[in-house]
Structure 1
């Protein structure tokens, strides 16, 4: 069951632009851009609620992603691995429902299932932290890996291919912040036609790698400029 901690007070700023959460027991103040859905959720949690009750009450919050990922309404509230496994249709697809929050777990899974390339496409404990763990595991196993940061709001980045134990790696000119995310305020969403390009890039990178070619966009950092409607490329030397 979930319930707000005792001593939590919720306010709205006089200009109606911020939600202000005051935790008087711990002396903490959190200011967040005003969102009706967040206000409603916090009010709903004044009483004990189960995970199922929360999902049912606020299921509409998730539905906008149906138009940006390859899922349909019947897939709501399912785990992605379950949906992909159901659609696989091939015995070579294996369902592994395990949380990987350290590099050792990734190494163990790769050894157990004889995985020879890792594609990171998650965001827990954070996208960058998971990318770092993927790199550590890939280097230990001496296998290549792909870091897919995905998108947030209208910012879409393309996947980055890396060889193991190479000078050019994920941490090369990428910063890892020692902080824990509380929430993400992203009111806008990238168009599905743009986000779909990320999967196409990963497929092409793997195809190039298997054919002994330089993976597509290797040593390039790329994101989509919504304003200019074009991909921006930064070559990493």
Structure 2
């Protein structure tokens, strides 16, 4: 078959969704669910990426006193809606804040379809981080888009963001147990600081850049936590 004819066939198959293009995106639209302790730092890092053209952020909460300095908010942001604060800060991409709570995967699918989302990121904890991760997985599978989950933190121990492709054997549900509980609880000391949690945003920014340049996403098929003593990620590879 001639090259031009082959390209035409591939184009038709993609249009009919027989072939789903999972990689090599020059520009992507991203949705972040939750902009609290981890989500605010995720937004901080990815809003400046050249490969992100639109960033949708979802969160119903306002900035409270106990959010200051641990999350990416300061005194001038007090009592304002978190999505409004981050939208006003702006970035290289268009930022759209949605002051609402996602309670099921159907609502997530509706939002993603409306804004043509290419990557879905879970960074919230309602009704729980685990339940929201499953909800994100379900919505991403329906939409056939990659997704990133964040299991949050226990005290000052922050978990590694995990990148998944849709409808893949390796997914959030695959062998997902709490990572080496003994190691985690040995490291628990105090409430997480901005210095530690900011590393989550760095990882996700790298994962998105890798995805957009057709590389294996950073720390793909690894699970673990940020070791505050060594100041590095302590992870295991998942087979």
TM range (shorter): 0.5 to 0.7
Q: 2:100 aligns with which of 98, 112, 131?
A: 98
State whether structure 2 residue 152 is matched by structure 1 residue 150.
yes
Extract unaligned runs of 5+ from structure 1: 1-58, 177-185
Q: Cα distance 1:137–1:204, how it changes in 2: closer, same or farther (>3 A)?
A: same
Aligned-CA RMSD value: 2.3
Q: Which has the higher contact order (CA 8 A, sep 6+)?
A: 2
Contact 2:224 2:233 in 1 (8 A): yes
Q: Name the structure 2 match of 1:128.
A: 130
Q: For residue 227 of structure 1, report the CA deviation from its aligned partner.
A: 4.9
Contact 1:150 1:198 in 2 (8 A): no
3-state DSSP of counterpart to 1:68: coil
Q: Cα distance 1:91–1:197, how it changes in 2: closer, same or farther (>3 A)?
A: closer
Extract unaligned runs of 5+ from structure 2: 1-62, 179-187
What per-residue deviation string (whole Å, max 9, x for no partner) do you get for residues 108-165 of structure 1?
A: 0011111111011111011010000000000000000011223231111121000000
Q: For residue 228 of structure 1, report the CA deviation from its aligned partner.
A: 5.2
Q: Name the structure 2 match of 1:79.
A: 81
Question: TM-score of the superposition, structure 1-length normalised?
Answer: 0.65
Q: Name the structure 1 match of 2:33.
A: none
Q: For residue 81 of structure 1, report the CA deviation from its aligned partner.
A: 1.2
Question: TM-score of the superposition, structure 2-length normalised?
Answer: 0.65
**114-123 or 186-195: bigger deviation:** 186-195
State whether structure 2 residue 123 is matched by structure 1 residue 116.
no
